[in-house]
Structure 1
């Protein structure tokens, strides 16, 4: 059973996600001695079980497979009696040896008869933005502070230029102290190129120090053309230092503002909407509520011609067979498996393995192994075919569901998606991530009602109603799909209202720092 097909029953105390599962998931705090009935099974809890955590529905022998979502999430490291809490003390990881039938489950998406539209900014190259920023981009960390000073001079820009969302500094901690022709520099340049070309920027100013490895000139020759006056570069050493560069930078931005302000939203097909899929601060409900709801919304988006980018390669480990099964071709499936093999080598090279995930916060929320986390994470991808696999920050040109190879660390992963062209981020969270992103708006989808209410000023959508039994997954998907369209059309996300997103540009750093 795929995750997007799971609709939890309207349970009061606990949930069993598949008839083959030998564990249940607590919906509310359950005390020791509590009797819990799920279908024709009834157990008495031998210890307290927190919300989102698992308990055994039957006797599980040491070494036996523990099943959730109808899939293996590991093996029992000791005998587990019915009613016992199942977590890190008695559930262990096993190597992922999934059966792969590349493309066997691929079914082409049937497009809707009348695709929806959103109100976006059409750029000179035909791409469409969901926001209208001016970007001040540093080539190297040495110019980062200058970029921030320039952007800070336009904190209230929207009062004079109401069609401009702001001036944002895109800075990072790299750009020098690296090989001049290695993988690390190529990846940084690809990421910067993606941001410099991003349709959510009406204009950009690129600023370097002058002597860095990551020179501006090679980047300029690879950028998409912009209208005259909407692309400029500065180097601090040529301008005579920081103060003169800041002053000149502000003059350049000031000259761009009237042009950017002249941009107007217009109706465009949803095939111009590219949504990056993220999950962070996951809990035991992530794979039950928010991720399946987002996956069902992705199916709607794809049927309307849009694109969704699934990422976080270490967090699909153990569930990759659900993606290769619906790959559009054997080559797409093989490309995904090659990226997973790279990650296994990469983790081993640094003395680790792919089960260093889940994080402490994930475990506190009820997730025990990376297999369990991955099965829930893949639910974000819905059920449509996997059309393409991209490396980090590569331009996404295919439509439909695609995969981009990224780390699991959310800011690094989302940076790659935005560089690839994502003009909206949908971010599921159970513990309460507050991630914001400029120039791309980020929607936060809560997995449970308690957290949504506790952090309501940061959460955009409550998927906890699925757990509460007051909303079905398909109903949540329809509402979320409408929210995605409204946000792409200019409605502010909570992170935007809170002023977040200025510090989340975090390119993946590979290679030696010298």
Structure 2
């Protein structure tokens, strides 16, 4: 199959191989002759499109013809452009009550049941910094714990994670910026994948530890100790004391044991990065099928990246459980329009150069592929960045499109496992939560086999169905949630990917 055309009404098809100029290529009963060389994954016009007319893919508008486009032409940055256009918002017309399997029929995994009832998929100790100034000391503490051999006697502890970041001071002591930072940090402090914490500061920062921990809701079985470098007498003393305090936590942390738990306790975070034209054909819809399965088993699936669902909000509000949920989403879209305008940007500043090299042209096209990660079930709730997710089913979280910032918010919201789709080869992990990497195409999977967990490329080149690959993803999620290591965990990714969203003025 040289061309992939999803719907008869689409004006473009995707080249499934490099097509030289003058090549006859077909998709079903439709055949065109290419007028230029068309790289694999890029778009070919299957019918003439006059200048100014809408161009369709997925049965939706992905942009407008910048000039007359002839059948067989390569359609990309030189002749397809982004424009705003009106969309009809039909609230909740596709919402439905899903059939949720009874607990006795739900799939299960082996998880850590915590005293507050939540379930972890890993068992870590954490060093959480209140400010950038304590980041180096926190990393030294985690490294000493990791390489000293002290963890060898505690096989049920997965390790020590240093959660460091670049802010915490030089900001208003109250308001949106520090509020978002503290919401992220409290989300990690309450995360079921942690068995204990050292919260480490400098001492004089805006983000005072007492303000952070004093308002956090912590479970009864979670030891949390705090310290500052200034209080302890400098960096070296802080590292020694930090190692001692975490070492004291190890015996209790090591007593945790996995137990059989229904899949309804899983909160699956989804994200896509380094996308290509195959993302919306293979990995994203397959992940959406896995989310649908998880919802049927009583679990939760989270989609974020608001700038990367822009242009598809009219499809999501159709699935909103009620008008209030749909309007929440539209308010977040309006916030982003205002936010980008204030900063001299545009909602079409995406796709990235790598996305464009992979065949994506406009944010509308990228969004239509990205939103497929959310499957087909009813949109139950819309939450703000790093807000605790308490609803079951499909949930949308307002996050930026930048991968580490997005996933940091999703994990702070409670995700205990993540699936990350990529068509270009993103390198990513997100301790303390395991992250599965889903390749959109077979050449990428084979080229980066030590980084990719699942190949979704068989949907276009191996006769697999979206549903079958979705089932494969769902079953792998259960195994990883039970302790099976992902490729990113084997490569020790995740320490540098804790990146809270920085809002507000740097003073």
Query: What TM-score bracket applies, with the shorter chain setting the length?
Result: over 0.9
Is this contact kept in 1: 2:195–2:222, CA < 8 A? Answer: no
1:415-430 equivalence runs, <5 A? 415-430=408-423
Residue equivalent to 2:330: 337
Specify every segment of 5 or more residues in structure 1 that has no aligned partner in the other structure, as ranges.
1-11
1:156-235 equivalence runs, <5 A? 156=147, 158-227=151-220, 230-235=223-228
1:267-346 equivalence runs, <5 A? 267-346=260-339
Residue equivalent to 1:32: 21
Asked if residue 241 in structure 1 is aligned to residue 237 in structure 2, the reply is: no
Is this contact kept in 2: 1:229–1:256, CA < 8 A? Answer: no
Asked if residue 117 in structure 1 is aligned to residue 108 in structure 2, the reply is: yes
Post-superposition offset of 1:469 = 3.6
Asked if residue 128 in structure 1 is aligned to residue 119 in structure 2, the reply is: yes
Specify every segment of 5 or more residues in structure 2 that has no aligned partner in the other structure, as ranges.
none
Counterpart secondary structure, 1:248: helix
User: 1:101/1:112 Cα in 2 relative to 1: closer, same or farther (>3 Å)?
Assistant: same
Give the Cα–Cα distance (whole angstroms) in 2 for the partners of residues 239 and 276 of structure 1: 38
Is this contact kept in 1: 2:114–2:221, CA < 8 A? Answer: no
Post-superposition offset of 1:244 = 1.2
Post-superposition offset of 1:431 = 0.2
1:432-447 equivalence runs, <5 A? 432-447=425-440
Give the Cα–Cα distance (whole angstroms) in 2 for the partners of residues 291 and 392 of structure 1: 22
Counterpart secondary structure, 2:195: strand
Give the Cα–Cα distance (whole angstroms) in 1 for the partners of residues 405 and 358 of structure 2: 23
Asked if residue 16 in structure 1 is aligned to residue 5 in structure 2, the reply is: yes
Residue equivalent to 1:99: 88
Post-superposition offset of 1:227 = 4.7
Residue equivalent to 2:66: 77
What are the Cα deviations for residues 298-357 of structure 1, in whole angstroms up to 9, with x where unaligned? 000000011011100000100111110010010000000000000000000011110000
1:305-454 equivalence runs, <5 A? 305-454=298-447
User: Which of these residues, 139, 157, 179, is aligned with residue 130 of structure 2?
Assistant: 139
Residue equivalent to 1:7: none
Give the Cα–Cα distance (whole angstroms) in 2 for the partners of residues 60 and 355 of structure 1: 22
What are the Cα deviations for residues 193-250 of structure 1, in whole angstroms up to 9, with x where unaligned? 0011111011011011111100011222223334567211111111111111111110
Give the Cα–Cα distance (whole angstroms) in 2 for the partners of residues 286 and 411 of structure 1: 19
Give the Cα–Cα distance (whole angstroms) in 1 for the partners of residues 421 and 84 of structure 2: 27
Give the Cα–Cα distance (whole angstroms) in 2 for the partners of residues 238 and 229 of structure 1: 23
Is this contact kept in 2: 1:112–1:303, CA < 8 A? Answer: yes
Counterpart secondary structure, 2:428: coil
The worse-fitting range, judged by mean Cα deviation, of 42-51 and 363-372 is 42-51
Post-superposition offset of 1:358 = 0.4
Give the Cα–Cα distance (whole angstroms) in 2 for the partners of residues 435 and 43 of structure 1: 39
The worse-fitting range, judged by mean Cα deviation, of 30-39 and 410-419 is 30-39
User: 1:252/1:226 Cα in 2 relative to 1: closer, same or farther (>3 Å)?
Assistant: farther
Residue equivalent to 1:511: 504
User: 1:63/1:338 Cα in 2 relative to 1: closer, same or farther (>3 Å)?
Assistant: same
